[in-house]
A and B are shown apart, each in its own frame.
Chain A
């Protein structure tokens, strides 16, 4: 079958092979060097999916799309919420074995790999049980609810030698890959600040079935501290991973504030956060997220002394933009002289507002399903039987600094990386 993923993958391969910088990332090198997949039954990768809510279903769709081309089989699904359980059976046409208890799924000996897309607080014990049951694991981000859980997962990963890939899909996004390549080659000069934000304007609630208030915490788990750190683990973790990746380092400290200033509806997690992560070379990563205004949306901005990237927008801005043609400048000046008003009062200085400059695209073709690619990489590593070097660490550090950020906000203190969390 000629899957659409195949051509996308070929495209990624082309990108990676052309860059010595990107080839230095082991997970990309593995992707570039992938050999032909044997279609024999013996070479089939049997996958179980635990947690088939919205994200789990998304991953299931992606896996079904590569089922034939990558010789995999969705062998089992598991969810303890009936509508999700039924939906997963429907999507797999009843072929996959279905369970309410993940432990029964882990008991199936010939399942090679597990995909975990449960609420955050369940990631750790399921992933640890899966690795101990000799399964390879793909776990959705963020990695875990607590720092202790994050470390326990890491320990189990290293002790068992099992794969533990965290679903940070930007690691496989072409515009991010090209931007990282440019950062390393000095195209935007010395990166001294990174800014990121994720703004939404909604209550983040999912409807609870009428007459079943007991399901509130199960369905809206993102809003309760027992299960989630809200904006930090669900959104910021993506962008913290990007910041660490851009700097090719971890932060050394974090300060932050957060609170509930708008959605006073019984939720426990913050509805707005603002943090500053500092790196050893003095670079600051300034982050904020909110749920009461979506004008600025979502962005990661990489600021260097020669240029700026806006990664989500796929844009690159030079500090010295290319000069327009002389005649355009002349006409522009004439226009200004005729139509511009002469101020007779007000400020006596010219405000340093942003340049009106549309920039250039980082990459021309960025229509790549990065979640699909990340799952392909996972399946490839399952087939090889060993983790792809470097990939787990990206997820681990993102999780650790996400949770340290939460800690900084809760304690109102500057937080450093504790010795015991170093790997």
Chain B
């Protein structure tokens, strides 16, 4: 069986994206509280739901990254072929 090695840089990068997702979710909560005039206590009480939103945003970003990397890879292959 092949060992999978996750480098520290990869973990740091994913943690960065997760933190970014959480900041977006937190911002959404803040915006929602102001827009819908609900309780400020929701900054804390809605944390479990916020984690869920964070995960959804993280998955969306992940999907975008995969698409971006895929396109990037395709372009590189094309470039290499034309230079040969």
Please report A residues at the B interface, Cβ cutoff 8 Å. 323, 325-331
Would you call B46 and A325 a contact (CB within 8 A)? yes
Contact among B33, B37, B53 with A331 in the assembled complex (CB-CB below 8 Å) = B53
Contact among A325, A326, A328 with B35 in the assembled complex (CB-CB below 8 Å) = A326
A326 to B32 Cα, complex, angstroms: 5
**CB of B49 closer than 8 Å to a CB of A:** yes
A336 to B29 Cα, complex, angstroms: 18
Would you call A325 and B53 a contact (CB within 8 A)? no
Would you call A330 and B28 a contact (CB within 8 A)? yes
Residues of A within 8 A of B36 (CB): 323, 326, 329-330
Segment 1-42 of B: residues with Cβ below 8 Å from A: 28-29, 31-33, 35-38, 42
Interface of B is mostly: helix
Number of residues on chain B facing chain A (CB within 8 A): 15
Would you call A327 and B46 a contact (CB within 8 A)? yes
Residues of B within 8 A of A325 (CB): 32, 38, 42, 45-46, 49
Nearest-Cβ distance from residue B36 to partner chain A, whole angstroms: 4
Nearest-Cβ distance from residue A328 to partner chain B, whole angstroms: 7
Would you call A330 and B49 a contact (CB within 8 A)? no
Would you call A328 and B49 a contact (CB within 8 A)? yes
Residues of B within 8 A of A323 (CB): 36, 38
Would you call B53 and A327 a contact (CB within 8 A)? yes
Q: Tell me the nearest residue of chain A to B52, going by C-beta.
A: A331
Extra 14 A-B pairs, beta carbons < 8 Å, given A323-B38, A325-B42, A327-B28: A323-B36, A325-B38, A325-B49, A326-B35, A326-B37, A326-B42, A326-B46, A327-B32, A327-B42, A327-B53, A328-B49, A329-B32, A330-B28, A330-B35
Nearest-Cβ distance from residue A56 to partner chain B, whole angstroms: 55
Q: 18 pairs across A/B with beta carbons < 8 Å?
A: A323-B36, A325-B32, A325-B38, A325-B46, A326-B32, A326-B33, A326-B37, A326-B38, A326-B46, A327-B28, A327-B29, A327-B33, A327-B46, A327-B50, A327-B53, A329-B32, A330-B31, A331-B53
Nearest-Cβ distance from residue B74 to partner chain A, whole angstroms: 28
Residues of A within 8 A of B46 (CB): 325-328
Residues of B within 8 A of A326 (CB): 29, 32-33, 35-38, 42, 46
Residues of B within 8 A of A329 (CB): 32, 36, 38
Residues of A within 8 A of B53 (CB): 327, 331
Would you call B49 and A327 a contact (CB within 8 A)? yes
- Contact mask for chain B residues 46-79; partner A; CB cutoff 8 A; 1 contact, 0 none: 1001100100000000000000000000000000
Nearest-Cβ distance from residue A31 to partner chain B, whole angstroms: 41
Nearest-Cβ distance from residue A337 to partner chain B, whole angstroms: 14
Residues of B within 8 A of A331 (CB): 53
Nearest-Cβ distance from residue A37 to partner chain B, whole angstroms: 50
A331 to B35 Cα, complex, angstroms: 13
A325 to B35 Cα, complex, angstroms: 11
A139 to B33 Cα, complex, angstroms: 59
Residues of A within 8 A of B45 (CB): 325
Q: Tell me the nearest residue of chain A to B42, going by C-beta.
A: A325
A302 to B45 Cα, complex, angstroms: 34
A329 to B38 Cα, complex, angstroms: 10
Cβ-closest 4 pairs across A and B = A326-B32, A326-B38, A330-B32, A326-B36
